[in-house]
Amino acid sequence: MENIKIYVEELISLCGLTGELVPYIRHFVLVVLAIVLASLSGYVCRRFIPLIHKLTSRTSSAWDDVLLNDEVLRSASNIVPAIVIWQLLPLTFYEFPFVREILARLTAIYITVMMVRTIIVMIDSLKLLEGDTRTAKQQYLYSFCGMLKIILIFIAVIVIISILVNQSPMTLLAGLGAASAVMMLVFQDTIKGLVAGIRLTSNDMLHKGDWITVPSAGANGTVEEISLTVVKVRNFDNTIVTVPPTMLADGAFQNWIGMREGPGRKQARTIYFDFRSVQLLDEAAKQQLVANGFAEAEDTKGKVSNVTLFRTHIEQWLATQPSVLSDMTILVRQAEATQAGMALEFVFWLNEKGGPAYEHATSLIMEYIYAAAREFGLVIYQQFPKQA
């Protein structure tokens, strides 16, 4: 730049310009040259972006494609022209120290902001490494990155203030000791959210993509986002419910991840029968059940009740249904009786875990149980409305 300044002065003298306008013309030409050099450096950096993409695409790992994506590289390329301007300012405005000082501070602030922005964009790019679910390690990293962005912004503000007041950033940081209580109050939700997020992930309680139910918050759907201060849940009616992480860590919620990862979904339904319909079967009733395919002949020997044959038939029938997992528990048992009558609990596992297929399979099974009870002479308890 010193040689360029000499060439500019020689060019001005060759043009025959003299007088008070010479310094202004000289600085104008130097400013134009500085802008041209800065623009040229930015153009060169942007021309390297496709080359970097080609290099990262040849590697087998995915992290370099994410961290060096187009948005990150373009944000980084905006820093280079500012650095060139910052380096050329002492030689460009050597006769105007006041202007040079102001422009140097503004350029330093711009470089600081753009550097922080580039790092934040790079941190946000880590989300592209996730799939539909987020592991505990990924959630740790995500929570740490959220806290790191806050720290970066805080440091950037301190640096910008130090540039404006021409003081060392360490001096300003030392003076913030008395304001630490205020900072703790301002960021208390963020700190609590970070601690709650660590508790959730360290205990493997929650991941992105899990189906959770939080009755107190009206949440029943899939976790879409886990951040420092909020957990976003998309309900099955497509409404979005935001739940604080502290509510999940300190309270109670139901996570259906075990059911989703398991072979099927358990069903446990209870039906109440009128005690007056429970009876021992005579030979005619036994033969009719055998003839209609509701019982086996060996099961009807001796004194046997209609409830016993009904339980046996339902267990055998459930084992033959394609929607029921036959290798899982299939059980029809007597539960504790109540004033509503004798309770029978039907326990089985469906291979469908949710959605219309699950509901249809459950309905078909329960409808058959209701209808088959009549064949055994059992009466399902129900309350009739009182006559006016």
pLDDT tens-place string over residues 271-299: 999 999 999 999 999 999 999 999 988 88
Between 167-181, 202-216, 233-247, the lowest mean confidence (pLDDT) is in 167-181
- Decide if pLDDT at 318 tops 90: yes
Q: Which residue has the tokens 């899982």?
A: 328
Q: Which residues contact 236 (CB under 8 A, 6 or more apart)?
A: 220, 221
Query: Tokens 């942007």 sit at which residue?
Result: 46
- Highest mean pLDDT among 29-38, 104-113, 226-235, 365-374 belongs to 365-374
Q: Is the pLDDT of residue 386 over 70?
A: no
Instruction: Dump pLDDT digits (tens) for 72-102.
Output: 888 888 888 888 888 887 777 777 788 788 8
pLDDT of residue 100: 81
Distance CA 356, CA 335 (A): 29
Q: Is the pLDDT of residue 182 over 70?
A: no
Q: Which of 208-217, 298-307, 341-350, 369-378 has the lowest mean pLDDT?
A: 208-217
3-state SS of 212-230 is EEEHHHCEEEEEEEECCCC
Spatial distance between the Cα atoms of 145 and 227, rounded to a whole number of angstroms: 10
Q: Where is pLDDT greater, at 376 or 64?
A: 376
CB 209 within 8 A of CB 133: yes
Least confident of 24-38, 234-248, 270-284: 24-38
Burial 279-312 (b: 16+ CB within 10 A, else e): eebeeebbeebbeeebbeeebbeeebebbbbbbb
Q: What is the mean pLDDT of the chain?
A: 80
pTM above 0.85, yes or no: no
Quote the pLDDT of residue 324.
Answer: 93
State yes or no: pLDDT of 139 exceeds 70. Answer: no
Segment (H or E) for 344: strand 342-350
Q: Which residues make beta-bridge pairs with 203?
A: none
> In the prediction, which pLDDT does 332 show?
94
pLDDT at site 135: 57
- The more confidently predicted of residues 180 and 328 is 328
Q: Which residues contact 189 (CB under 8 A, 6 or more apart)?
A: 229
pLDDT score of 322? 92
Q: Are strands 219-226 and 231-235 parallel, antiparallel or unpaired?
A: antiparallel
Dist. CA 5–CA 30, nearest whole Å: 7
The pLDDT assigned to 311 comes to: 94
Q: How confident is the model at residue 16 (pLDDT cuts 50, 70, 90)?
A: low
Question: Cα–Cα distance between 87 and 102 in angstroms, integer?
Answer: 14
Q: Nearest 5°: phi and psi at 318?
A: -60, -35
